[in-house]
Structure 1
């Protein structure tokens, strides 16, 4: 295999970027903004989950069959799309939880069980209007988990489908699974095509994996950094190097991780000491995103298009003794603006950054825009203005009448009424990218980041369609980004917020299993948040 970091094929960085066509009166899907939205861009809001598991992941419960996960995601919780992202390890069960005689590489299990079952269901008319696709969660050498999507053009010549041959080759070269686990004829073909070296142990090997995807699937692959602070294994230099190498492949971080039903919220189980405060969740959000002026803000301050998502990481909800994560769509949701409801449209929407992430259905619609003169941009966009020009930031949002808060848990007795207490408008300066090897490349803070306006319920009033609107006008004197976060909590709630900043989540230690599940569920629904992706305003 040639050294991929030195020999790259041309990478068409903008080939899947969303190219919005503006027309008047574009209809919006009911799962986000409704027809009365001021947005005029062609497309619709779609809602889904990028990170869920089935029984084909060996650490999922045997009850987590593919059919059950799909039923929960679509029939129970109303998602439009779902990524099934099982571990790129060995798999010892089929879709229904039956134990295989011999464990197989998951990429083979994807091809043999997962994809055929999805295709059969949709061909029979079940979930035929839903976008269901396969990803896999890679154990990135020396780091943690990264979602990987590898796609190819389908038989119709238009849509994208999972490329199982690509997944199998990727698993061979970049996982530690023994060579004997793979088909020998396939291994021989891969060695002929790519070389004999496997890259599965060092930090340099991690970069080789990204480079392999960029070389072989430059416009039809993507990656997401999952639960990034769960372990102290990433530096901001790592994140910068990943994004520098493949900015159109690695552009999302799971800033609102799954596994929220764990006693350690999000499964962030490092010791509860000050040394591990960066490895905790804050209002359920990862430290990278929750920390004002922290890692995410440092990256945005370079103008990097890196977006945040919210996912379930569903392995199972509760068993007799243990709890892990909510089902897809039950607690975490991503709202993504998409030109079409297939994989290609979703990838374009994800790359565009026009999306927001939410826990507990705190909101189910958000228009966030920056306008100056005749120019206007929304989340993920870059508005170019003259120095001294006025810029008006407008927030328009909506909350549903209820959410999925059950009391007691799993009872079907829904008691949750999501209400936004306040929304923070956050700004940070954009000063340009740090150079690899420079001291700035390892700086993980953005000291310019601050809350420039806190809107409370006293600042907004519902219109006839249930939307709330507020705005803020500033003068453009330097290049900045603007983003939002909102919560149902007050600004100073003991153990949860201080001066509006989320505090580290506490461990639930209740001994009785049933009561512990309820205590965890109560904790989670008492602390709901949403995060928007940023708008960049560039001063000419």
Structure 2
């Protein structure tokens, strides 16, 4: 679909997909021969044979957002109640993480200035954020929704990471105390701002908030003391030189069950510099732009993410809003509300925050902008069975692997014109093409080796590109693509899709996304609408990979 600021061209295409699983069984019995002599005695093995049954697949697809700010962050302009209303009542998410800055907070959850002055955010979380969430849900609001509190940490020498501590029960007193301990140990807050009992209890521990080694110390602390936690790498390329691929490997090596996710499809999409990636527009800094709204680390074919996947690392990508406000004071714009533009789809089995994190860790996850799709089933099937995103299929060398891609799009997305008008345009998102991307998987790089510093995977390529002519539509409204891959070596398969053609001026070249341009109109209203049109004209989804491993 293409449209400009002043006009909108509507494209409608029925989207559908289906998959038929055929189950067959055979059996038989022999009639007894009455004339035959008696059979000899049979020795019965006291241990009955184990009959393997196919695993029972439970759970369901859910949508959520891991990066939502409220007025308790000093740069946000929305109350906690408003953020939750938009996430769940308006945009129908299933779960969300409130992720305010782990800084001094001068306001409560309603935006009212605290009379006694700023407080550590961990105190604000315990005193305002969590009590409001508990009270609201106890009163019947946000029924069936999963809401948990995390925080965004200014990682020493790097940029931001979101951290959720104690996800088995993130609103418990124990988890809230752990957040306070983290803030005391890994920020430069004045000890006088904290509970004296906490300061006394931690007197023997080293405070660490300056160096990369301190960042690793914090990650190790999470791994060892609160293993039911996660650390999400936010907008990783927003500023030049904040991370090296060796440092990403180092963090994943140190705590692979905590550091396992990248915010590849970043928030702050309403910024003039898409995603807030405001580094100078010069050739050396092009990797610090977004590409179709996606961080270069993920968007660059054969780049950093592919280098990590090429070692078999289970590092997944997600999509977030990074919501602070949409527009403010008629002058500024920041990002979309949670669920309005960016969604992370997670296969989840359970009804609590722990099940969300378990789903994220499984890798059965995909991210999407502008509801380009609202359903995706991506699996690889071989003689050993079938696996979904995040899974590993073991195969014999040169075995034929059947790849199935099933997807669907909604009848319309949330594009409105003018922005903030509440006037929907009823544009149906339309997938132009889907790329099946493959990369080889080799040995894990070791620290200190040249490979540990490599941020490319030269084997990564688009294996196949599918357009409307390549998929079939079934009665359920799904599209289905089936293809076969020969497993000549260990590899991973992943997907990306877009509403754009393969060569669209300023947007794509030979199917690859181009760096996003800045929208810089002097008139505020025109600028807001142009930004919004830019974003809805440039929609993508990214899946997480399926690993196909050749048995040795």
Q: Calculate the TM-score normalised by the size of structure 2.
A: 0.88
> What's the offset of the Cα at 1:122?
0.2
**8 Å contact kept, 1:151–1:161:** no
Query: Among 90, 93, 96, which residue is 1:76 paired with?
Result: 90
CA distance in 2, matches of 1:99, 1:369: 51
Q: Given the alignment of the two structures, is residue 282 of structure 1 paired with residue 294 of structure 2, yes or no?
A: no
> What's the offset of the Cα at 1:256?
0.3
Q: Give the SS at the match of 2:354.
A: helix
> What's the offset of the Cα at 1:160?
7.7
**8 Å contact kept, 1:91–1:109:** yes
Q: Given the alignment of the two structures, is residue 455 of structure 1 paired with residue 466 of structure 2, yes or no?
A: yes
Do the aligned partners of residues 35 and 123 (structure 1) sit closer, same or farther apart at CA in structure 2, a change above 3 Å counting?
A: farther
Do the aligned partners of residues 180 and 85 (structure 1) sit closer, same or farther apart at CA in structure 2, a change above 3 Å counting?
A: same
CA distance in 2, matches of 1:474, 1:215: 41
Q: What is the correspondence of 1:365-404 to structure 2 with a 5 Å cutoff?
A: 365-404=375-414
Do the aligned partners of residues 126 and 245 (structure 1) sit closer, same or farther apart at CA in structure 2, a change above 3 Å counting?
A: same
**Aligned position for 1:13:** none
Q: What is the correspondence of 1:74-223 to structure 2 with a 5 Å cutoff?
A: 74-101=88-115, 102-151=117-166, 153-154=168-169, 163-191=175-203, 195-218=204-227, 220-223=228-231
**Aligned position for 2:34:** none
Do the aligned partners of residues 396 and 375 (structure 1) sit closer, same or farther apart at CA in structure 2, a change above 3 Å counting?
A: same
Do the aligned partners of residues 197 and 182 (structure 1) sit closer, same or farther apart at CA in structure 2, a change above 3 Å counting?
A: same
Q: Given the alignment of the two structures, is residue 267 of structure 1 paired with residue 281 of structure 2, yes or no?
A: no
Structure with more contact order per residue of length (Cα contacts < 8 Å, sep ≥ 6): 2
> What's the offset of the Cα at 1:347?
1.2
**8 Å contact kept, 1:405–1:414:** yes
Query: Among 47, 65, 68, which residue is 2:63 paired with?
Result: 47
**8 Å contact kept, 1:142–1:203:** yes
Out of 72-81 and 454-463, give the one that drifted further: 454-463
Map Cα deviations across residues 392-418 of structure 1 (whole Å, 9 max, x no partner). Answer: 111000000000000111112211220
Do the aligned partners of residues 478 and 34 (structure 1) sit closer, same or farther apart at CA in structure 2, a change above 3 Å counting?
A: closer
Out of 459-468 and 317-326, give the one that drifted further: 459-468
**Aligned position for 1:25:** none
**Aligned position for 2:26:** none
CA distance in 1, matches of 2:428, 2:314: 34
**8 Å contact kept, 2:439–2:460:** yes
Q: Calculate the TM-score normalised by the size of structure 1.
A: 0.90
Query: Among 239, 242, 254, which residue is 1:245 paired with?
Result: 254
> What's the offset of the Cα at 1:36?
8.3
> What's the offset of the Cα at 1:460?
1.4
**8 Å contact kept, 1:134–1:162:** no
Q: Given the alignment of the two structures, is residue 230 of structure 1 paired with residue 230 of structure 2, yes or no?
A: no
**8 Å contact kept, 1:133–1:161:** no
**Aligned position for 1:3:** none
> What's the offset of the Cα at 1:181?
2.0
**8 Å contact kept, 1:149–1:223:** yes
CA distance in 2, matches of 1:153, 1:503: 41
Map Cα deviations across residues 211-234 of structure 1 (whole Å, 9 max, x no partner). Answer: 01011012x111100001101210
**Aligned position for 2:35:** none
CA distance in 1, matches of 2:279, 2:18: 46
**Aligned position for 1:329:** 339
CA distance in 1, matches of 2:485, 2:93: 37
Map Cα deviations across residues 104-125 of structure 1 (whole Å, 9 max, x no partner). Answer: 0001100000000000000000
Map Cα deviations across residues 292-320 of structure 1 (whole Å, 9 max, x no partner). Answer: 00000000000000000000000000011
Q: May I ask how many residue pairs the two structures share in their alignment?
A: 499
**Aligned position for 1:8:** none
> What's the offset of the Cα at 1:128?
2.4
> What's the offset of the Cα at 1:40?
6.4
CA distance in 2, matches of 1:345, 1:44: 11
Query: Among 466, 488, 492, which residue is 1:477 paired with?
Result: 488
Q: Give the SS at the match of 1:458.
A: helix
CA distance in 1, matches of 2:510, 2:18: 37
Q: What is the correspondence of 1:461-540 to structure 2 with a 5 Å cutoff?
A: 461-540=472-551
Map Cα deviations across residues 351-370 of structure 1 (whole Å, 9 max, x no partner). Answer: 10001000000000000000
**Aligned position for 1:361:** 371
> What's the offset of the Cα at 1:491?
0.3
**8 Å contact kept, 2:65–2:95:** yes
Q: Give the SS at the match of 1:299.
A: helix
> What's the offset of the Cα at 1:184?
2.3
Do the aligned partners of residues 274 and 37 (structure 1) sit closer, same or farther apart at CA in structure 2, a change above 3 Å counting?
A: farther
CA distance in 2, matches of 1:128, 1:522: 34
Out of 247-256 and 457-466, give the one that drifted further: 457-466
> What's the offset of the Cα at 1:373?
2.1
CA distance in 2, matches of 1:502, 1:161: 46
Map Cα deviations across residues 21-58 of structure 1 (whole Å, 9 max, x no partner). Answer: xxxxxxxxxxxx99989696211111000001000000
Q: Alignment RMSD, CA only? A: 1.7
CA distance in 2, matches of 1:34, 1:69: 34
Gaps of 5+ in 2: 1-15, 22-54
Q: Give the SS at the match of 2:74.
A: coil
**Aligned position for 2:45:** none
Q: Mark the structure with the bigger radius of gyration.
A: 2
> What's the offset of the Cα at 1:132?
0.3
Do the aligned partners of residues 212 and 281 (structure 1) sit closer, same or farther apart at CA in structure 2, a change above 3 Å counting?
A: same
Q: Given the alignment of the two structures, is residue 433 of structure 1 paired with residue 444 of structure 2, yes or no?
A: yes
Map Cα deviations across residues 79-106 of structure 1 (whole Å, 9 max, x no partner). Answer: 0001000000110000111000210000
Do the aligned partners of residues 160 and 461 (structure 1) sit closer, same or farther apart at CA in structure 2, a change above 3 Å counting?
A: farther
